Amino acid sequence: MARLGPVDGEVQMSAAPDLVLLPGQRNELELNTALVRRFQGIVDDEFLELTAFCQNRPWVCHVHSYEEHVLALREATHLRGYCGAYQLVNGPIDHALSARYEPGKWQAAWNGRAADDHIGTRRALYFDVDPIRPKGISSTDAQLREAYDVSAALEEWLASVTGDPGAIGHGCSGNGYFTLVALQPSPDPVESTPRVARLLKLLARKFYTDRVKLDAAVANAARLMPAPGTWKKKGRSTPERPHRMTTFTCRGRVTRVPLEALC
């Protein structure tokens, strides 16, 4: 598997023969979106709700295809005050929500966003590793390296527990790292939230450092994750704390494990 390096989008290559290389996918946004959709098991015509935060206020865009997904994320970066774009970890969501907003257009989320009880299945576990720093600013390269080390240790542990690294996807959130574990779609995702929360709290303690944290508060069914291939823009972009692109990598063969394999 290709694993993202600690700074500057560096890619570290393993000898894995099943590395994903999609022909014709030259654009980073297109490639990252294609990879994460396949890893999450998003079908071609699935109704999705994307979220962008602009000056800390949520905007939403409803899409129905890969092409619309990519186009919406590309347009998000031009919204006034754009800070970052996100998508749901789990799904599909209740299609009735498509009546809230006009499809394919970014709009202020005045009419609500998808909530836990709108999520059909839990299809991934989400782990978020971030350096500890003041809110509203980007990470330094040194802080990103520290988060990378914790993320690598976490993923090594997850691979040993699941028994198959094909179940693990690796992402850079721009200022830290995130990990996805592909699940066999688990119904009643709200019901499983306490179990997932206990796992996150256990791992937050296991991988604790005084400079990096694993977020224990990301267990809910309607959890957002960074939309890979988009830019994260927290505070001013400076040489010490630059804005960075979010990215995602996974193996060519995605293995979906039962939720019970981890919690």
Q: Which residue has the higher pLDDT, 108 or 13?
A: 108
How far CA 196 is from CA of 65, 127, 191, 219, in Å, comes to: 30, 11, 10, 6
pLDDT at residue 6, as a whole number: 58
**Alpha-carbon span 133 to 19, nearest angstrom:** 34
Domains of the chain: 2-261 (3.90.920)
| Cβ neighbours around 59 below 10 Å, total | 23
Ranges 171-175, 194-198, 249-253: which has the least confidence: 249-253
At 194 the three-state DSSP class reads helix
- pLDDT digits 0-9 by tens, 59-78: 999 999 999 999 999 999 99
Percentage of the residues of the chain whose pLDDT score is greater than 90: 88
Host H or E run for residue 25: none
The reported pLDDT for the residue numbered 1 is: 52
Question: Tens of pLDDT along 194-243?
Answer: 999 999 999 999 999 999 999 999 999 999 999 999 999 999 999 999 99
pLDDT score, position 4 = 53
Choice among 19-28, 107-116, 149-158, 224-233 with the minimum mean pLDDT: 19-28
Q: What is the pTM of this model?
A: 0.90
Own/partner long-range contacts of 9-14 (Cβ < 8 Å, ≥24 apart): 9/172, 9/244, 9/245, 9/247, 11/249
Which run of H or of E encompasses 153? helix 141-162
- pLDDT level of residue 7 (50, 70, 90 thresholds): low
